[in-house]
Structure 1
């Protein structure tokens, strides 16, 4: 479920080591390595550090369905279509982000609604427990939706948690 006014990018995203990255389009930004979870409000599968976000997938290596929806205001979460939903704040100094595959291609996402400033990321995951530990042949069974909208900085939140994979990452540190 996405806001009718959202700009949406849908793609098949190549992941390795269960990783993808959202990176601010500044000259010094780069894909983060494993980032520590928030110490007081852990969300497990989404971690932010200095304008970059580390996104965890259920599939170890392969291609997953990934949608990015950039909205002007807070969209509704898709509670029925996803088992796990988490939120975290991120600051964009450039006013734009790129979605990166592990060690590979970068994908431009729709322009951020309010330019540089604070945004909220809501990361939805479906089928994380079905993602293979090895290499997925064809499109892997897990899929993801990342919603982005302008919002003041606030604490990370777990909106919904139902998969064993999410529970693992909540305690993995």
Structure 2
């Protein structure tokens, strides 16, 4: 039997940024979050100390955002998205939320299915190049799906890469 819960919302971004934050995290360390994995770069999602840095194509405005929390891997939506990457994430609280830039507004998510522990984050992106070209918009251009399920820590990986935006963020800095 599959157990999963999904939520969707309009997400306001600034500087192409949003954050997945563990409920025990007191402060985000932006320096750590700016670094991609040194040997397995995935570009558009980075994790450090109970926080994931989510990069969008749109610089400033509103993006479509969905999150699915499941008890196991539901599989990637290969046909529905242009870019898909995965990375491990440790939750101390077993609860996370998505924060808009500046952390003044956040979106509550369903409780993580296995409580505290290791999870896999699969970040799907669609229309990143189009949104990056527009730069600023309150009309939704790019869409994102974040899947979260329990899984032991493992190396990050790129599942699908088609956009120039993902290629840009994967380049060594």
Instruction: Confirm or deny a common fold (TM above 0.5).
Output: yes
Please tell me whether residue 6 in structure 1 is matched to residue 7 in structure 2: no
Name the SS of the counterpart of 2:28 in structure 1.
Answer: coil
**Shift, 1:29, TM fit:** 4.2
Corresponding residue for 1:134?
135
Corresponding residue for 1:41?
40
The structure in which a higher percent of residues are helix is 2
In structure 2, relative to structure 1, the CA distance for the partners of 1:27 and 1:152 (3 Å cut) is closer
Corresponding residue for 1:78?
77
Name the SS of the counterpart of 1:141 in structure 2.
Answer: coil
Structure 2 unaligned blocks of 5 or more: none
**Shift, 1:6, TM fit:** 1.6
Q: What whole-Å deviation, never above 9, does each CA across 1:33-77 have from its counterpart, x for those lacking one? A: 542000010000000001100000000000000000000001110
Name the SS of the counterpart of 2:142 in structure 1.
Answer: strand
**Is contact 2:2–2:71 with CA below 8 Å preserved after alignment?**
no
**Shift, 1:5, TM fit:** 3.2
Distance 2:25 2:88 in 1: 21
**Shift, 1:134, TM fit:** 3.1
Bigger drift between 26-35 and 99-108 goes to 26-35
**Shift, 1:83, TM fit:** 0.5
Distance 2:135 2:121 in 1: 28
- Aligned 1:40-119 pairs, distance under 5 A: 40-103=39-102, 104-119=104-119
In structure 2, relative to structure 1, the CA distance for the partners of 1:134 and 1:27 (3 Å cut) is closer
Moved over 4 A (4+): none
- TM-score normalised over the length of structure 1: 0.93
Please tell me whether residue 22 in structure 1 is matched to residue 17 in structure 2: no
Structure 1 unaligned blocks of 5 or more: none
**Is contact 1:88–1:155 with CA below 8 Å preserved after alignment?**
yes
**Shift, 1:139, TM fit:** 2.4
After superposition, the CA RMSD in angstroms is: 1.7
Distance 1:92 1:47 in 2: 15
The total of aligned residue pairs comes to 170
Q: What whole-Å deviation, never above 9, does each CA across 1:70-89 have from its counterpart, x for those lacking one? A: 00001110000101000000
Distance 1:155 1:119 in 2: 12
